[in-house]
């Protein structure tokens, strides 16, 4: 069916209104958080750079976890048992 031919029932329409309101609240909260960071002296470029670096860090961490997992399988131990050998904290 085409979007025009679809007529949501009252419950579906109410659910959509609630979802829209929730998204508006989230948008406002994010705008406020950005304004707070800007007022603290951060620039949008700096925030973008931090986000980019966090993504890169997470990708590297995931690769390291994968390698530790493969090594653990080869050695027949748990990944947790390898942490001390490589001076890693469990929170790493």
Q: 72 and 53 in one domain?
A: yes
Tell me how many domains the chain contains: 2
Question: Residue 72 and residue 47: Cα distance in Å, rounded?
Answer: 37
- Full domain range(s) for residue 72: 43-91
Residues 35 and 51 in one domain: no
User: How confident is the model at residue 47, as a pLDDT?
Assistant: 85
Mean pLDDT (whole number) for 52-64: 95
Q: What is the pLDDT of residues 4-55, one digit of tens each?
A: 555 556 778 888 999 999 999 999 999 999 899 889 998 888 888 989 999 9
**Contact (Cβ atoms closer than 8 angstroms) between residue 43 and residue 32:** no
Is 37:47 a contact under the CB 8 Å cutoff? yes
The pLDDT, as a whole number, for residue 55 is 96
């Amino acid at each position: 069916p085409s979007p025009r031919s679809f007529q949501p029932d009252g419950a579906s329409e109410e659910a959509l209104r609630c979802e829209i309101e929730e998204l508006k609240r989230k948008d406002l909260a994010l705008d406020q958080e950005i304004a707070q960071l800007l007022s603290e002296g951060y620039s949008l470029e700096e925030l973008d750079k931090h986000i980019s670096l966090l993504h890169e860090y997470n990708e590297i961490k995931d690769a390291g976890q994968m390698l530790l997992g493969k090594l653990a399988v080869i050695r027949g131990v748990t990944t947790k048992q390898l942490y001390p050998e490589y001076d890693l904290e469990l929170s790493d």
